[in-house]
Amino acid sequence: MAEAPIQIRHALEILKQIADDRGVPRNIRRVATESIEVLLDPKMTPGLKAASVISKLEEVSMDPNTPLFARTKIWQVVSLLEQVRDS
C-alpha cells in the first residue's frame, strides 16, 4: 500500500485528539472514531476516504452540542481533507 498523503496523516492526528477527549460528547467522539477507521481503510482510494469523512464531519459540526474547540478541530480536518485528490 502506498503511503497516505500528509493531509490524511495530519487529519488522523486531530481526529485521535477528538476521539480521546472526554470533554467532547460521546456521539462526536464516535464519529471521530468512525472517521479514523475510514481513513485507515486500505481498500478505499484517498479521495474516496476524504469525501466520506468530510460528509460525516460536516454533519456533526452542525450539532449544537459540539463544543467550540472540537468544532474548530473538525473544521481543521475538513480543510485538510478537501486538499486530498485521487491521482
Domains defined along the chain, listed by start: 6-81 (1.20.1440.50)
**Would you state the pLDDT for residue 1?**
43
Report the distance separating Cα 56 and Cα 60, nearest Å: 7
**Would you state the pLDDT for residue 85?**
85
Joined together, the cell numbers standing for residue 78 give 475538513
Long-range contacts of 70-76 (CB under 8 A, 24+ apart): 70/18, 70/21, 70/23, 70/24, 70/28, 73/14, 73/17, 73/18, 74/18, 76/14
Amino acid occupying residue 77 = V
This prediction's pTM? 0.91
Ranges of the chain whose pLDDT falls below 70 = 1-3, 87
**Would you state the pLDDT for residue 5?**
85
Per-residue pLDDT of 37-58, as tens digits, reads 999 999 999 999 999 999 999 9
